[in-house]
């Protein structure tokens, strides 16, 4: 029964031109407009080392691991950082005069970072500091449990956070952040498929749902089959967008293909789940539900940096909670993490939050549908 309903819903979805336009064609058109409008940003200059003012005081010298980590990150043909070791007053002056990206100061067992603005470079400095603190903390725990391990950890260092450059040009693609936000928005447009999945299941929303309610299949089975069909179509739409961006515009997504696909799948499920929950919870006409879905998607896209690139980094510093409760930002930041950082801790945090939101959305839709009762004639 499930398979029959799934195949039937799949055919119906492929015939629904309106939903296919929003989930498949509209993101392609928007990607083309993005490329035409922002294509000149692709002429990025080669990556240059990040200037960093380091406060040279007793607290800094009390962290030999930090000294080694900065030394490692300042070596090579293209070093990650160009540190300048100065006093606290001089570091603040350099920051005010825009002579450095940020100021790093040792503070007890932690690090204090000060920036004038928010962007990719500031994010890299923060990631470097976080990685160092995590590594140093793990080393202290090991030494506390086994003091002899201190001999083996004497050469402890932190690998610098690399900048992923475009492999064909050796240059950093500055519009990739916008495309990541676009993919995230496209995932959330799967909500149109979720709206339809509920509309064909709840008898009070469409004449088709009235006929489906008379079928011997349980309502939740119908809903699950409709949801799976919607998620499959949405996932394929996102893959189409990825292929279009990669081969039409040469957008580089990195080399973690499996994790990229996992992000697309989870994002598609989250978008479909959001639409299903809105459709099940909101009592009103279809136009109202579409308006709510579009408002949530576009507001989330704006806060994730699709319209204004710098807002993503500003929010991550001034109001980080908004970054964690914004489904669009979670998807975009998952791509961002895979593209920029060698470690996967930030990616898995985003993926876990995406999965949690998906479960909440689906649970909300199911509970709302189970409470819905219809009169027997």
* 57, part of any domain: yes
120 and 227 share a domain? no
pLDDT of 348 reads 95
Q: Could you tell me the residue range of the domain that residue 31 belongs to?
A: 2-41+173-371
In a domain, 168, yes or no: no
In a domain, 197, yes or no: yes
Q: What is the pLDDT of residue 185?
A: 92
Quote the strand ranges of the chain, DSSP E: 50-55, 81-86, 102-107, 110-115
pLDDT at 251: 84
Per-residue DSSP letter, 117: S
Residue 66 lies in a domain: yes
C-alpha–C-alpha distance, residues 291 and 284, integer Å? 11
For 188-233, the DSSP string reads HTTHHHHHHHHHTTSTTT-HHHHHHHTSSS-HHHHHHHHHHHHHHH
Residues 220, 123, single domain; the answer is no
- The total number of structural domains in the chain stands at 2
Mean pLDDT by 10 residues, the chain (377 residues): 84 84 87 78 60 89 82 79 90 90 85 82 82 68 51 46 39 68 91 87 59 64 89 94 90 88 96 93 86 91 76 73 90 89 89 96 90 55
Q: Are residues 217 and 357 in the same domain?
A: yes
What pLDDT does 260 receive? 95
Residue that terminates a domain, selected from 117, 152, 187: 152
Is the domain of 20 the same as that of 92? no
In a domain, 164, yes or no: no
DSSP for 162-182, please give it: -----TTTSB--TTHHHHHHH
For 42-69, give one letter per residue: b (16+ CB within 10 A) or e. beeeebeebbbbbbbeebbeebebbeeb
Integer Cα distance of 156 and 138 in angstroms: 11
Residues 15 and 95 reside in one and the same domain = no
Cα separation, 186 vs 235, whole angstroms: 10
One domain for residues 341 and 222? yes
> Is 167 inside a domain boundary?
no
Structure confidence at residue 19 (pLDDT): 76
> Side by side, which strands form the sheet with 50-55?
81-86, 50-55, 102-107, 110-115
CATH number at residue 80: 3.40.190.10
Same domain? 265 vs 333: yes
- CA 368/CA 144 separation, integer angstroms: 52
Task: Give the model confidence (pLDDT) of 278-315 as tens digits.
Answer: 998 988 788 899 899 999 999 988 888 777 766 776 77
Task: Check whether residue 138 and residue 193 sit in a common domain.
Answer: no
b/e burial code for range 164-196 (CB count within 10 A of at least 16 → b): bbeeeeeebbbbbbbbbbbbbbbbbbbbbbbbb
**Domain check: are 140 and 219 in the same one?**
no
| CB 27, CB 190: distance < 8 Å | no
Does residue 324 share a domain with residue 195? yes
């Amino acid at each position: 029964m499930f398979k029959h309903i799934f195949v039937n819903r799949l055919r119906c979805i492929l015939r629904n031109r309106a939903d296919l336009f929003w989930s498949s064609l509209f993101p392609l058109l928007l990607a083309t407009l993005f490329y035409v409008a922002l294509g000149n940003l692709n002429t990025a200059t080669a990556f240059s080392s990040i200037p960093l003012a380091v406060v040279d005081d007793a607290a800094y010298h009390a962290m030999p691991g930090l000294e080694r980590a900065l030394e490692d990150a300042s070596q090579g043909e293209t070093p990650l950082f160009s540190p300048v070791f100065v006093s606290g007053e001089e570091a603040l002056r350099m920051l005010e005069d825009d002579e450095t990206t940020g100021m790093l100061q040792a503070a007890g067992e932690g690090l204090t970072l000060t920036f004038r603005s928010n962007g990719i470079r500031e994010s890299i400095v923060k990631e470097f500091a976080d990685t160092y603190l995590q590594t140093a903390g793990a080393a202290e725990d090991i030494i506390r449990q086994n003091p002899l391990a201190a001999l083996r950890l004497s050469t402890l260092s932190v690998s610098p956070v690399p900048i992923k450059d475009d492999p064909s040009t050796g240059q950093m693609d500055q519009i990739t952040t916008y495309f990541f936000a676009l993919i995230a928005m496209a995932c959330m447009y799967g909500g149109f498929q979720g709206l339809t999945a509920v509309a064909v299941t709840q008898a009070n929303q469409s004449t088709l749902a009235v006929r489906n309610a008379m079928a011997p299949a349980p309502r939740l089975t119908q809903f699950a089959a409709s949801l799976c069909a919607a998620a499959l179509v949405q996932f394929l739409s996102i893959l189409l967008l990825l292929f279009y961006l990669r081969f039409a515009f040469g957008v580089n997504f990195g080399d973690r293909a499996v994790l990229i696909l996992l992000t697309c799948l989870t994002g598609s499920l989250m978008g479909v789940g959001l639409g299903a929950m809105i459709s099940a919870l909101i009592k009103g006409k279809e136009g109202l539900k579409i308006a709510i879905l579009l408002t949530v998607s576009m507001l989330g896209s704006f806060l994730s940096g699709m319209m204004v690139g710098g807002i993503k980094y500003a929010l991550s510093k001034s109001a980080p909670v908004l970054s964690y409760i914004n489904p669009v930002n979670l998807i975009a930041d998952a791509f961002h993490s895979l593209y920029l950082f060698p470690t996967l801790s930030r990616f898995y945090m985003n993926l876990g939050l995406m999965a949690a939101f998906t479960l909440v959305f689906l649970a909300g839709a199911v509970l709302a549908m189970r409470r819905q009762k219809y009169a027997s004639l």
